[in-house]
């Protein structure tokens, strides 16, 4: 089995209304239960907004200093809102889970295999 990353692509701006978020939360919880029942579940989690991020990079003379910068590493209209790591027999199976995730979250889902 190959592991795949399902990335939730979150648009910038306001979150949906509380009623919509409650429905989405229930749909995502149901998807996670389905993943567990199918033996495809590895890990999932939602992320705080990009304003909570800190970028750690090498800089300074000869790239020996570690620099910390507040905020996301790139300004964008979308950001990573959450992830789900799954195990699937092949890309087609992973894409089917991606379809289900898109329906549950109402957001775009990027499906990408891990190396190795």
Q: What is the mean pLDDT of the chain?
A: 93
Distance in angstroms (rounded) separating the CA atoms of residues 80 and 86: 17
Which tokens is 88 given?
């699937």
pTM: 0.89
Is pLDDT above 80 for 74?
no
Q: pLDDT grade, residue 37 (50/70/90)?
A: very high
User: 112 has which bridge partners?
Assistant: 5
Give residue 95's pLDDT: 98
Domains of the chain: 2-113 (3.30.70.1060)
Query: Mind giving me the DSSP string for 2-28?
Result: EEEEEEEEEESSPPPPHHHHHHHHHHH
Report, as an integer, the average pLDDT of 54-63. 86
Percent of the chain whose predicted confidence (pLDDT) is above 90 = 75
């Amino acid at each position: 089995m190959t592991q795949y990353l399902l990335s939730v692509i979150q648009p910038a701006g306001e979150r949906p209304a509380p009623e919509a978020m409650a429905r989405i939360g229930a749909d995502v919880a149901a998807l996670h239960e389905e993943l567990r029942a199918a033996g495809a579940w590895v890990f999932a989690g939602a992320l705080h907004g990009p304003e909570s991020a800190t970028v750690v990079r090498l800089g300074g003379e000869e790239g020996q200093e570690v620099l910390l910068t507040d905020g996301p590493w790139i300004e964008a209209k979308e950001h990573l809102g959450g992830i789900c790591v799954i195990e699937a027999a092949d890309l087609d199976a992973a894409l089917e889970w991606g379809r289900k995730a898109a329906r549950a979250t109402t957001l775009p889902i990027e499906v990408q295999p891990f190396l190795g």
